Amino acid sequence: MSQETVKLIYQGQTFELPLVTGTEGEKAFDISQLRRKTGLITLDSGYANTGSCTSSITFMDGERGILRYRGIPVEQLAERSSFVETAYLLIHGHLPSRRELTRFSVLLNDHSLVHEDMRSFYSTFPRFSHPMGILSAMVNALRSFYPELQTIEEEIDMTVTRLVSKVRTMAAMSYKISRGHKVVYPRPDLSYCANFLNMMFDTPVRPYVIDQDMVDALNVFWILHADHEQNCSTSTVRMVGSGRVNLYAAISAGIAALWGPLHGGANQAVIEMLKKIHQGDESIDRIIQRAKDKSDPFRLMGFGHRVYKTFDPRARIMKKVCDRLLEKLRLEDPLMDIARELEARALSDSFFVDHNLYPNVDFYSGIVLRAMGIPTNMFTVMFAIGRLPGWIAQWKESMDDPSWRLARPRQIYVGPPETAYVPMNEREDREPGPIHRPGE
Ligand code: CMC
Q: What pLDDT, in 10s, does the model give residues 114-164? A: 988 888 888 888 878 889 999 999 999 998 888 766 566 777 788 889 999
Whether 253 is covered by a domain: the verdict is yes
Check residue 383 and give its pLDDT.
96
Contacts of residue 208, defined as CB under 8 A and 6 or more positions apart, other chains included, come to 197, 198, 201, 202
CA nearest 303: which of 350, 355, 257, 254? 355
Atom of ligand 1 nearest to the CA of 306: 29
Lowest mean pLDDT among 87-96, 131-140, 151-160, 336-345: 151-160
Q: What is the mean pLDDT of residues 99-127?
A: 90
68 phi/psi in degrees, rounded to 5:
-135, 140
Tens digits of per-residue pLDDT, 205-221?
999 999 999 999 999 99
217 C-alpha to center of ligand 1: Å?
A: 27
Check residue 149 and give its pLDDT.
61
264 C-alpha to center of ligand 1: Å?
A: 13
431 C-alpha to center of ligand 1: Å?
A: 38
Residue nearest atom 35 of ligand 1, based on CA coordinates: 262
358 C-alpha to center of ligand 1: Å?
A: 10
Contact at 8 Å (CB) between 210 and 194?
A: yes
CATH number of the domain at 382, please. 1.10.580.10
Whether 434 is covered by a domain: the verdict is no
Quote the CA–CA distance of 26 and 20 in Å, as a whole number: 8
pLDDT confidence tier of residue 170, bands split at 50, 70 and 90: very high
14 phi/psi in degrees, rounded to 5:
-105, 130
Check residue 174 and give its pLDDT.
86
Residue from 60, 355, 383 whose mutation best tests the ligand 1 pocket (most atoms within 8 A of CB): 355
260 C-alpha to center of ligand 1: Å?
A: 13
27 C-alpha to center of ligand 1: Å?
A: 25
Residue nearest atom 27 of ligand 1, based on CA coordinates: 306
Lowest mean pLDDT among 174-188, 227-241, 263-277, 284-298: 174-188
177: left (phi over 0), alpha (psi -120 to 50) or beta: alpha
Check residue 151 and give its pLDDT.
65
Residue nearest atom 26 of ligand 1, based on CA coordinates: 306
Tens digits of per-residue pLDDT, 232-242?
999 999 999 99
321 C-alpha to center of ligand 1: Å?
A: 24
Residue nearest atom 8 of ligand 1, based on CA coordinates: 304
- Where helices occur in 44-151 by DSSP H, the ranges are 74-80, 83-92, 98-110, 119-124, 131-145
From residue 268, give the alpha-carbon distance in Å to each of 7, 72, 163, 397: 46, 29, 24, 31
Atom of ligand 1 nearest to the CA of 360: 48
Quote the CA–CA distance of 83 and 92 in Å, as a whole number: 14
Atom of ligand 1 nearest to the CA of 363: 44
Q: Which residues are catalytic?
A: 305, 362
138 phi/psi in degrees, rounded to 5:
-65, -40
Contact at 8 Å (CB) between 35 and 41?
A: yes
For 315-319, the CB contacts below 8 A with 24+ separation are: 315/358, 315/359, 315/360, 315/361, 315/363, 315/364, 317/74, 317/75, 317/78, 317/220, 317/224, 318/220, 318/221, 318/224, 318/361, 318/363, 318/364, 318/365, 318/368, 319/359, 319/363, 319/364
Residue nearest atom 42 of ligand 1, based on CA coordinates: 262
Radius of gyration of the CA atoms of the chain, in A? 24
Average pLDDT, the chain: 93
CB atoms within 10 A of CB 440: 6
Residue nearest atom 22 of ligand 1, based on CA coordinates: 355
Whether 76 is covered by a domain: the verdict is no
CA diameter of the chain: 80
Atom of ligand 1 nearest to the CA of 291: 2
Whether 47 is covered by a domain: the verdict is no
Check residue 125 and give its pLDDT.
86
Q: What is the mean pLDDT of residues 322-339?
A: 90
Length of the chain in residues, anyone?
440
Is the pTM higher than 0.75? yes
Lowest mean pLDDT among 65-79, 149-163, 274-288: 149-163
Check residue 2 and give its pLDDT.
53
Helix, strand, or coil (residue 251): helix
Asked if residue 20 has pLDDT above 90, the reply is: yes
Atom of ligand 1 nearest to the CA of 270: 44
Asked if residue 346 has pLDDT above 60, the reply is: yes
Q: Is the dihedral of CA 144, 106, 218, 215 positive or negative?
A: negative
70: left (phi over 0), alpha (psi -120 to 50) or beta: left
Q: Sheet containing 13-21: which strands, arranged edge to edge?
A: 5-10, 13-21, 27-29
pLDDT confidence tier of residue 201, bands split at 50, 70 and 90: very high
Whether 420 is covered by a domain: the verdict is no
Quote the CA–CA distance of 355 and 305 in Å, as a whole number: 11
Asked if residue 345 has pLDDT above 60, the reply is: yes
Whether 59 is covered by a domain: the verdict is no
From residue 388, give the alpha-carbon distance in Å to each of 165, 166, 228, 285, 392: 10, 11, 11, 37, 6
Atom of ligand 1 nearest to the CA of 302: 44
Total domains, the chain:
1
CA nearest 377: which of 164, 134, 192? 134
Whether 287 is covered by a domain: the verdict is yes
Quote the CA–CA distance of 214 and 369 in Å, as a whole number: 10
Check residue 156 and give its pLDDT.
77
Asked if residue 1 has pLDDT above 60, the reply is: no
Asked if residue 193 has pLDDT above 70, the reply is: yes
Contacts of residue 205, defined as CB under 8 A and 6 or more positions apart, other chains included, come to none
Residue from 357, 361, 362, 382 whose mutation best tests the ligand 1 pocket (most atoms within 8 A of CB): 357
Residues with CB under 6 A from ligand 1: 46, 228, 231, 262-264, 266, 291, 299-306, 355, 357, 360-362
Whether 23 is covered by a domain: the verdict is no
Contact at 8 Å (CB) between 62 and 307?
A: yes
pLDDT confidence tier of residue 270, bands split at 50, 70 and 90: very high
Check residue 121 and give its pLDDT.
86
Residue from 225, 237, 294, 303 whose mutation best tests the ligand 1 pocket (most atoms within 8 A of CB): 303
Contact at 8 Å (CB) between 383 and 171?
A: no
Quote the CA–CA distance of 317 and 201 in Å, as a whole number: 26
Domain range enclosing 282: 91-400
Contact at 8 Å (CB) between 318 and 364?
A: yes
Quote the CA–CA distance of 153 and 141 in Å, as a whole number: 22
